[in-house]
Amino acid sequence: MIAFIGRSVIQKIVTLFFVSVVSFAIIHIAPGEPSQVDPLNPKFTPEMVERFRQAFHLDRPLYVQYGFFYRDLLSGQTLSWKDNQPVLHKIWERFLNSLPLFIVGTLITWTISFPVGIRSAIFRGGAYDRGATFISYVLISIPGFFFAYMLIIFVVSQLHVPVIGMQTFGMTGTAWWFRVNDRLWHMLLPSILGATGGIAVLSRYVRSQMLEVESQDYVRTARAKGLPWEMVHYKHALRNALLPFVTMFGLILPGLIGGSVIIESIFSWPGLGRMAYEAILARDYPVILTINFIAAVLVLIGTFVSDILYVIVDPRIRL
C-alpha cells in the first residue's frame, strides 16, 4: 500500500510537471502577445509596453519565463496582468461563488439519478425504463445554453422571478429570509442546468451497474431460495452495485472548475468559469495558467483518491 501510494504520487508529480510545460507552451507559442491586446488604448505607448514586458519578464527567453512563472505560482505571489491583483486571491473569491452551485448541483445529480437508475434496472425493458432512457439521451444531447433559455423563459414568464446574477439588485437592507429566498431562486436554474448532464450520465451508469450485478449467480440463488423481492434487489444486488460509485467521489473533484463557462456567462454568475472566460478574452496569461494548473491538480488528486477508495472498498483488489 505504502509503495503504491509513493509510486503514484511520484508519477502524478511527473505528470503535473509535463502538464505545466505543455500548457505554458500552448499559451506562449500561440500567435499574439498580451502587450498587443489593446493597441488603440492611448495609454499603451511603446514605453509602457516595454515597461510592461520588463515587469513581467516577457523580454526573457521562454524557459526563463517558465521558471519565473512557476516560482511565483508555487510561492503564491502570481499577479494578474489585467489589474495587478494576486491571482490566488481572485480565484479563491470566485471559487467561493462557484462552490454553492457545485454543491447543490451535485446533490441534485446524486439524489435523482440513483432512484431513476435503480428503478429502470429493476423494470428493465418496461415503459419506465424506455422513457427514462430516452429522456436521458435528450438531456445529454440538449445544448446547455438552449436549455438555459427555455428555463429562463419558463421561470420569468410563469413564476415571475428574476434569475440573472447572484441576487436581485436593491435587496440589501431587507430581512434575511427575503435575501435567502432570493439567493435560492437565483441559484435554482444554474444548479439544475449544471446537474442535467450529470443526471443523464449517472443514471445510465447506475442502471448498467445494477443490471450487471442482477445477472450474477448469487442474485439468482437469492431469488431461487425464495427471499422476498425487496431483499433480493436492495440487499443483495444494490449493495454490490453501489461499489464503484464510492470511487466516483474522487472523480467529481475536477467538476469544481470545469464545465461551467457557458452556464455562468448566461446567468452572469461571478464564478470561476466566468472568470476563466474573461481571462481568456483579456489574454490574462497568469490567470489562465493558474486555473489550468489547479484543474490539473484536482484531476490528479481525484484519480488518486478514487484509486485509494477502490482499494479500501473492494477487498478483491490487492496492490
Partner 1 sequence: MSLENTPLASGLEAPPAPKRTRFEEAWRLFRRNRMALAGLVIFALFFFAAVAGLALTSGSRPLLDPSAVRLQEKLRPPLSMPQAASLQPGELPAFGIYLFGTDDLGRDVFARMLQGAWVSLTVGFVAVGISVAVGIFMGGLAGFYGQRHIRLEQLLVTAVLLTGAGLLATGFRSRGALLLVAGHAWLFWSISPWGLQRWKALPPGLGLLRKNTLMVDTVIMRFVDIMLCFPSFFLILTVVALLPASIYNIMIVIGLTSWEGTTRFVRAEFLSLREQDFVAAARALGVGNLRIIFRHMVPNAVAPVLVSATIGIASAILTEAGLSFLGFGVPPPHATWGNILSDGKRFIFDAPWLTFIPGAAILIVVLAFNLFGEGLRDTLNPRLRERN
Interface residues with partner 1 (CB under 8 A) are 14-16, 18-19, 22-23, 25-32, 61-62, 134, 137-138, 140-146, 149-150, 152-153, 157, 254, 257-259, 261-262, 265, 276-277, 280-281, 283, 288, 291-292, 295-296, 299-300
Could you tell me the smallest distance in angstroms from the CB atom of residue 42 to partner 1? 25
Residues in CB range of 123: below 8 A, 6 or more apart: 129
List, as one string, the DSSP characters of 245-309: HHHHHHHTGGGGTSS-HHHHHHTT--SHHHHHHHHHHTT-HHHHHHHHHHHHHHHHHHHHHHHHH
Could you tell me the smallest distance in angstroms from the CB atom of residue 133 to partner 1? 8
If DSSP states are collapsed to H, E and C, what string results for 130-198? Answer: HHHHHHHHHHHHCCHHHHHHHHHHHHHHHHCCCCCCCCCCCCCCCCHHHHHHHHHHHHHHHHHHHHHHH
Q: Residue 33 or 231: which CB sits closer to partner 1? A: 33
**Residues shown for the chain:** 319
Type of residue at 67:
G
Could you tell me the smallest distance in angstroms from the CB atom of residue 56 to partner 1? 16
Could you tell me the smallest distance in angstroms from the CB atom of residue 107 to partner 1? 22
Q: Residue 142 or 246: which CB sits closer to partner 1? A: 142
Q: Residue 61 or 170: which CB sits closer to partner 1? A: 61
Q: Report the SS3 class of residue 261.
A: helix
Could you tell me the smallest distance in angstroms from the CB atom of residue 299 to partner 1? 5
Q: Residue 6 or 228: which CB sits closer to partner 1? A: 6
Could you tell me the smallest distance in angstroms from the CB atom of residue 233 to partner 1? 23
Q: Residue 145 or 178: which CB sits closer to partner 1? A: 145
Q: Residue 126 or 228: which CB sits closer to partner 1? A: 126
Query: Which is nearest to 124 in space by CA: 133, 112, 137?
Result: 133
